[in-house]
Structure 1
Amino acid sequence: MSGLAAVLAGRHPAGVHRWASALPAADVRHVVEQAGWTFGYVDGAPLDTTPAVLRAIGDALAFPDHYGANLDALHDCLRDLPGPTVLLWDAWSGYARAEPRRFAVVAEILGERTPADPPVEVLLRGPGPDGVPVLQ
């Protein structure tokens, strides 16, 4: 949990990271919300297409009804989040393997922040392809 604690405390920059914790999602939610961050959860096991992933992220982060579930809309809605947010994405590797180029674009958008944007930490939990930094 120390890597996540550092992100929540502002000692480590938020971004997209692999995360090896086995904590139940409810416990992660509790820690995140106690730190004053918003929490979202995606069960990636059934997701292997970009439209399905974008809908799941939109649902997890409570995007508005007009969210178009496309890459531009993802970018825009992430900038409109009300505050710091953690997205726990379990079983992400099915999508990353099924659509590696699209996964890379989605991960890039999730990690793209300007100083004016609220921080977003994406925790990719479970085994998966290399290339994503590990949060320790």
Structure 2
Amino acid sequence: MTSVVEVLNGQAPAGIYQAEHLDVEPIAHQALQRGWHCQVIDGSLIVDRHEALAAFGQVLDFPDHYGKNLDALADCLAELPRKTLVLWTGAHQALADLIPVLEDRALAEPAFAVFVAL
């Protein structure tokens, strides 16, 4: 299983990964030290795809015109100006609808990774 540290250090590609547990504070600190922007989404508060889309917009500071749909998510992710790590705790099924868009963005630069705690 790929670890957050491997991704932060460039030893593994950015992407969408599952983790058994995410110790958020130390990971966020390590990300910052390595020049990554790191944000956390508490998935236990998410009940549907609309809320999942809204959560990404909020933590990644998307512009006011963000439409909270999959196309708008893809567009805003494409405009991220720096390496970005999202830690999704309390996984919820609503995230599954977003995975294809997140995976596509993970293939581009700057690096983008999402770790989802099971």
| TM-score calculated relative to the size of structure 2 | 0.88
> Secondary structure in 2 aligned to 1:110?
helix
Q: Distance in 2 between matches of 1:114 and 1:54?
A: 17
CA contact (8 A) 1:79 1:118 kept: no
> Secondary structure in 1 aligned to 2:113?
strand
Unaligned runs of 5+ in 1: 127-136
Q: Distance in 2 between matches of 1:122 and 1:48?
A: 19
Q: Distance in 1 between matches of 2:34 and 2:80?
A: 17
CA distances 1:74-113 after superposition (whole Å, capped 9, x unpaired): 00111100111100001113xx1xx5xxx43401111113
> Which of residues 109, 112, 117 in structure 2 aligns to 1:120?
112
Q: Distance in 1 between matches of 2:109 and 2:101?
A: 12
Q: Which residue is equivalent to 1:88?
A: 87
Letter in 2 for 1:113: R
Q: Let me know the Cα RMSD of the aligned residues.
A: 1.8
**Offset of residue 61 of structure 1:** 1.1
CA contact (8 A) 1:88 1:124 kept: yes
Aligned length: 117
**Offset of residue 27 of structure 1:** 2.1
CA distances 1:21-74 after superposition (whole Å, capped 9, x unpaired): 341x22221111111000111001121211111001111111112211111010
Letter in 2 for 1:107: I
Letter in 2 for 1:50: R
Unaligned runs of 5+ in 2: none
Q: Distance in 2 between matches of 1:116 and 1:15?
A: 10
